[in-house]
Amino acid sequence: SKKYVWNFVDQNGVQENVIGLFNLVKVKNEGAGFGIFQGKTIGLTIITFIVVIAICVYLFFALKETEWLRISLVFITAGGIGNIVDRIAFGYVRDFIQFSFWDSFPVFNIADSFVTVGAFMLVVVLIVMLVKEGKKNQKEFEEEQKNVASNEHEQIDPLDAPINLNPMMKSQNDYSFVVSEKKDEKVEQNDVKNTEENTQNSAENSQKSAENSNDIPQNDTQNQVESTAENTDGEKNADKE
């Protein structure tokens, strides 16, 4: 496009008010896009070359990135290559587009337009990606909190949970330690209670055994007395007869 327009202007002169938007002119730009950094051709060439190589390498490995991100980088790379070819071949960039309704606006070329559009797209894409990433992280955080709350509800019996927790305990490990300690204390209390009940039952059994032992001799003595009385009555009856 640069070669064609420059040849056309050489043959036909400056074309003004093309389609009512811009003029076709010839300008040698020894600076960056839109005429900035004039006289810095060598430095701009080196910087542009490094940027173009870096973007090409990134595009080669960034196949999984969003399509719009790749498109924006392709625009920037295409514009950069177009201008770097001019700087290497001529020592300047061939600009030829000038807005007819804005005389103070710098003269530029199509490569500058590609770089500008690509940079604008890149900014928009990065903002959208950051917003989406923030929403994704927020959603994952909320789901994680729900899972933690659900696990606590399933694993901890409310009857075994401590009534008063230390407000300084914020981690789940501290809470689990308190619950475990509470359970151990409850088991120990149950063991002591069972031991006391067993001791009391043993004492009652011993007392009953002693009472039974005392009843046996008394019954034998009573039986002997009754037997002696019966024998005596029998002898008396025999004497009377």
Catalytic option among 10, 86, 95, 174: 95
Catalytic option among 10, 103, 112, 184: 112
Residue ranges in 91-171 assigned as alpha helix (H):
110-155
Over the stretch 96-144, which tens digit does the pLDDT of each residue have?
888 877 777 888 888 888 988 988 998 898 898 888 888 888 888 888 8
Over the stretch 6-59, which tens digit does the pLDDT of each residue have?
777 776 667 776 777 888 888 887 766 655 556 566 776 777 778 888 887 777
- For tokens 């006289």, name the residue: 39
Rounded-to-integer distance, Cα 181 and Cα 138, Å: 35
Range from 21-35, 77-91, 146-160, 186-200 carrying the lowest mean pLDDT:
146-160
Q: Model's pTM, two decimal places?
A: 0.51
Rounded-to-integer distance, Cα 176 and Cα 187, Å: 17
Question: Dihedrals φ, ψ of 28, to 5°?
Answer: -90, 115
Does 10 participate in catalysis according to the annotation? Answer: no
Report angle CA 91, 93, 98 to the nearest 5 degrees: 150
Rounded-to-integer distance, Cα 121 and Cα 68, Å: 8
Rounded-to-integer distance, Cα 171 and Cα 133, Å: 27
CB 70 within 8 A of CB 20: no
Question: Dihedrals φ, ψ of 21, to 5°?
Answer: -120, -40
Question: Dihedrals φ, ψ of 106, to 5°?
Answer: -60, 150
Does 95 participate in catalysis according to the annotation? Answer: yes
- For tokens 């074309």, name the residue: 15
